[in-house]
Amino acid sequence: MQENGRQWQTVDLLKAAEKHFKEKDIESSRLHAEILLAYVMQSNRIELYLKHDRPVYQSELEKFRSLCRERLNGKPLQYITGEQIFFGYSFLVDERVLIPRPETELVLEHALDRAVAAGITEGEMPTILDIGTGSGCLAVMLALKLPDAIITAVDFSAKALEVAEHNANKHGVADRIRFLQADVLSPGFIDEVEGIYDMVLSNPPYIPEPEWEELEPEVKNHEPKMALATPDGFEFYRAIARSASVLLKQGGLLCFELHAEGAGKVREIISAHGFRDIEVHKDYSGWDRVLSGILTEIHEE
Ligand SMILES: C[S@@+](CC[C@H](N)C(=O)[O-])C[C@H]1O[C@@H](n2cnc3c(N)ncnc32)[C@H](O)[C@@H]1O
DSSP string, 184-218: TTSTTHHHHH-S-EEEEEE----EEHHHHTTS-HH
Rounded to whole angstroms, the Cα distance separating 223 from 228 reads 8
Q: Based on the fold, state whether residues 223 and 119 are members of the same structural domain.
A: yes
Same domain, 67 and 114: no
CA dihedral 280, 281, 283, 289 (to 10 degrees): -30
- Torsion angles phi and psi, residue 178, rounded to 5: -95, 125
* Confidence check on the interface: ipTM exceeds 0.90, yes or no: yes
Quick one: 102 and 139 in the same domain?
A: yes
Residue 74 class from Cβ within 10 Å (0-12 exposed, 13-18 middle, 19+ buried)?
Answer: middle
Task: Please give the pLDDT value at position 2.
Answer: 43
Q: Is residue 79 included in any domain, yes or no?
A: no
CA 252 from chain centre, in angstroms, equals: 23
For residue 5, pLDDT over 80 is answered with: no
pLDDT digits (tens, 9 = 90+) for 99-155: 999 999 999 999 999 999 988 888 789 999 999 999 999 999 999 999 999 999 999
Q: Please tell me whether residues 140 and 238 are part of one structural domain.
A: yes
> In angstroms, what is the span from residue 45 Cα to ligand 1's centroid?
32
Domain span holding position 205: 96-295
**What's the rounded Cα separation, in Å, for the pair 37 and 51?**
12
E strands in 32-120: 83-86, 89-92
pLDDT at residue 118 in the model = 87
List the CATH number of the domain containing 59.
1.10.8
Indicate whether residue 262 lines ligand 1 (CB < 6 A): no
Shared-domain flag, residues 37 and 176: no
Give the closest residue (by CA) to ligand 1 atom 4. 134
Residue at 87 is within a domain: no
Query: What is the pLDDT at residue 1?
Result: 39
Read off the pLDDT of residues 59-108 as tens digits, 9 standing for 90 and up: 999 999 999 999 999 999 999 999 999 999 999 999 999 999 999 999 99
Note the pLDDT of residue 298: 58
Residue bearing the CA closest to ligand 1, atom 6:
133
Q: Contact at 8 Å (CB) between 132 and 204?
A: yes
Does 25 share its domain with 103?
A: no
Q: At what angle do helices 10-23 and 29-40 cross, to 10 degrees?
A: 140
Distance 132 CA to ligand 1 centre (A): 3
User: What is the number of structural domains in the chain?
Assistant: 2
155 in a known ligand binding site: yes
Q: Kindly indicate the confidence band of residue 3, based on its pLDDT and cuts at 50, 70 and 90.
A: low
Question: What distance in Å separates the CA atoms of residue 110 and residue 280, rounded to the nearest whole number?
Answer: 10
Q: How far is the CA of 240 from the centre of ligand 1 (A)?
A: 12
Establish whether residue 134 lines the binding site of ligand 1, counting it when its CB lies within 6 angstroms of any ligand atom: yes
**Range of weakest confidence among 25-29, 189-193, 200-204:** 25-29
- Same domain? For 137 and 254 the reply is yes
Residue 53 lies in a domain: yes
CA 301 from chain center: how many Å? 30
Whether residue 225 is found in the same domain as residue 118: yes
Instruction: Answer for the pair 222, 95: CB distance below 8 angstroms, yes or no.
Output: yes
> Which whole number is the average pLDDT over 219-245?
95
Answer yes or no: do 40 and 128 share one domain.
Answer: no
108 and 231 share one domain:
yes
Q: Is 163 in the pocket of ligand 1 (CB under 6 A)?
A: no
Is the CB–ligand 1 distance for residue 185 below 6 Å? yes
Residue 105 domain flag: yes
167 Rama class: left (phi>0) / alpha (psi -120 to 50) / beta = alpha
Three-state SS across 109-123? HHHHHHHHHCCCCCC
Q: What is the pLDDT of residues 254-294, one digit of tens each?
A: 999 999 889 999 999 999 999 999 999 999 999 999 999 99
Q: Are residues 48 and 114 in the same domain?
A: no
**Overall average pLDDT of the 14-36 stretch:** 94
Q: Considering the chain, what is the average pLDDT of its residues?
A: 94
230 is in an annotated binding site: no
